[in-house]
């Protein structure tokens, strides 16, 4: 009779079978998703603004976003403590919400008038130009990142594309 035995050695620590994904890879995927969502947002807000008015669409969108964000905060953290701590930060840090309001107002107004592609192109060109300035001078506490010719060329090409997208 043949008896087989297996010598199983238990590892010191449990094996981790999760796929290692870098934080920058996740950030890149999220940024692409946000870019896609932004274009869809322009189309949706344009239509809503045409039906109920730009200011009505802005108010409704902002209220809905705030409600969803509060629910997510409550579910994820179990409290609204972070909301309370936010009001004690420097005033200029709180302007991010105002910038969002300006963006949503603008896309709701501009989308039906110049088209989704032109609105998105101009928005992205403006974001890239301001992002480069923020990186270059380290504004708002950001790390300073040099502005080399490839970035300048990219900004210029995107601005030219945005201008061309205005033509119907």
Domain boundaries of the chain, sorted by first residue: 34-114, 115-168
| pLDDT of the residue at 21 | 65
pLDDT by residue, tens only, the chain of 168 residues: 444 444 444 555 555 545 566 788 888 898 889 989 999 999 999 999 999 999 999 999 999 999 999 999 999 999 999 988 999 999 999 999 999 999 999 999 999 999 998 899 889 888 988 999 999 999 999 999 998 888 889 888 988 888 887 776
| pLDDT of the residue at 22 | 75
- Rounded CA separation 83/70 (Å): 9
| pLDDT of the residue at 167 | 73
Residue 136 exposed, middle or buried by CB count within 10 Å (0-12, 13-18, 19+): middle
- Rounded CA separation 157/99 (Å): 25
| pLDDT of the residue at 20 | 61
| pLDDT of the residue at 121 | 87
| pLDDT of the residue at 8 | 46
Which DSSP state fits 50?
A: H
Q: Provide the whole-model pTM.
A: 0.76
């Amino acid at each position: 009779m043949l008896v087989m035995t297996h010598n199983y050695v238990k590892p010191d620590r449990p094996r981790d079978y999760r796929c290692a994904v870098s934080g920058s890879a996740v950030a890149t995927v999220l940024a692409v998703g946000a870019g896609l969502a932004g274009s869809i947002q322009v189309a949706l807000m344009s239509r809503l603004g045409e039906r109920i008015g730009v200011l009505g669409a802005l108010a409704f969108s902002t209220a809905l976003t705030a409600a969803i964000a509060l629910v997510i905060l409550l579910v994820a953290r179990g409290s609204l403590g972070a909301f309370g701590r936010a009001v004690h930060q420097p005033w200029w840090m709180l302007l991010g919400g105002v910038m969002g309001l300006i963006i949503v107002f603008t896309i709701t107004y501009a989308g039906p008038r110049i088209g989704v592609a032109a609105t998105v192109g101009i928005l992205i060109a403006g974001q890239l130009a301001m992002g480069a300035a923020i990186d270059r001078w380290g504004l708002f506490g950001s790390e300073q990142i040099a502005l080399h010719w490839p970035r300048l060329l990219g900004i210029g090409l995107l601005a030219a594309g945005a201008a061309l997208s205005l033509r119907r």
